[in-house]
Structure 1
Amino acid sequence: MINMKKFEQKELDLLIRNHNLYMDSVNKNDVEGKRLILDEVDFSDNDLSQLNFVDVYITDSIFNNAVFENANFGGAKLYGCEFNNITFKNVNLGKAELDSSKIVNSIFINCTLIKVGSNEAFFEDLCFQNCRLDDVFSNSMIKNILFEECDFKGVEFWQCIISNLKFKNSKFKVTDIIKNINRGTLEQPLIINGDDAIRFFKEKSELV
């Protein structure tokens, strides 16, 4: 990512207000404001705490050293974005789209992640604490992750590349959540199913 655009906070605040106004008006059949659609932005120096992330469309952008608390990312389109050193606390990420995005060195606390789009996404050095997860990781790469006191529902890690996953006091049944795993790469997948996938998953993860 080069030549990233940066916003002065006042300029960004106006875009945020317009998006929030747009979201407030959508259900009233009297649309006001304007949906937030941005590409190739470096948000490292910006405050996004007032943004309602629902239905934003942000691509190929950077988020660094931020805290998102009591936020709603439901249905947010965040394609090809990079998140580094982020704290997500009490955040709803239901149906968020993270295809081709990268999330590293971050923590999720008391978050809800349901039907998250993560095609060819990269997750590394993360901690999930007291989170609810259902259909989050699919056709993505997952490395060095701790799941602590998390509740898993449904199939998970679908055709994912996994390495060094740790589960502490988390609720899941491996035969329910693991159906197939990618032993190859995203470019040249080698998919294994059923018992083979479960055995491989157990080799790459541990209960702590």
Structure 2
Amino acid sequence: MKKIDQKELDLLISNHNLYMDSVNKNDKEGKRLILDEIDFSSNNLSQLNFVDVYITDSIFCNTVFENTNFGGAKLYGCEFNNITFKNVNFGKVELDASKIVNSILDNCTLIKVSSNETLFGNLCFQHCKLDDVFSNSIVKNILFEECDFNGIEFWECIISSLKFKKSKFKVTDMIKNINKGTLERPVIINGDEAISFFKERSEIL
């Protein structure tokens, strides 16, 4: 894992933002941001348009993302720790093999998120809209407060200690398949067994 100088990062951010603007105009300029194994813990990313970035095996921690569009970002194998996400769009983000822990998501939109083998732990979702977010993931110690769910959730996920407070979540409609094994050795259950298993590991407040 390596650090990146802020001036160097600012240049990469400027080139990526120029690239995104030019793509929309069908006149390619700049350069797409592609980075691997970077520790961003001391960097300022507030000016980055995350749309279409390609970042792998990197660390983001102790920061705030506000009014940020992550739509379509490729963030494979990344770790997000102690982050506040506020008014963030996660539409079609690819988070496979990543880790999102000890964080708050406030008024965020999460739609069609790819989260294969991703760990979600010790999180608080507040006033969020979720549709097709958790799939083949580990989801534990989560509070969903005043959230709106739409569609199938927790598909073949490993779950524990989930709490739903004033959230729109209908278990019988949204729970289909649950993994009661491990990611390496899955034991998939469905139907009434999956619903019963889910209820044992969740709480409606």
Shorter-chain TM-score: which interval? Answer: over 0.9
Which residue is equivalent to 1:149? 146
In the superposition, the TM-score normalised over structure 2's length comes to 0.99
Shift of 1:112: 0.2
Q: Deviations over 1:154-199 (max 9, x none)?
A: 0000000000000000002111110010000000000000110000
Equivalences, count: 205
Out of 68, 93, 96, the residue aligned to residue 93 of structure 2 is 96
Cα distance in 2 for residues equivalent to 1:177 and 1:132: 14
Shift of 1:50: 0.5
Shift of 1:7: 1.0
Cα distance in 2 for residues equivalent to 1:185 and 1:134: 24
Which residue is equivalent to 1:131? 128
Q: Per the alignment, in what secondary structure is the counterpart of residue 120 of structure 1?
A: coil
**How large is the Cα RMSD of the aligned pairs?**
0.5
Q: Percent identity?
A: 81
Cα distance in 1 for residues equivalent to 2:104 and 2:77: 19
Shift of 1:25: 0.6
Q: Deviations over 1:18-69 (max 9, x none)?
A: 0000001102111000000000000000000100000000000000101000
In the superposition, the TM-score normalised over structure 1's length comes to 0.98
Consecutive aligned runs of 4 or more in structure 1 exceeding 4 Å deviation: none
Cα distance in 1 for residues equivalent to 2:174 and 2:95: 21
Deviates more, 1:133-142 or 1:4-13: 4-13
The residue correspondences of 1:2-41 to structure 2 (distance < 5 A) are: 4-41=1-38
> Which stretches in structure 1 are left out of the alignment for 5+ residues?
none
One-letter identity of the residue aligned with 1:146: L
> Which stretches in structure 2 are left out of the alignment for 5+ residues?
none
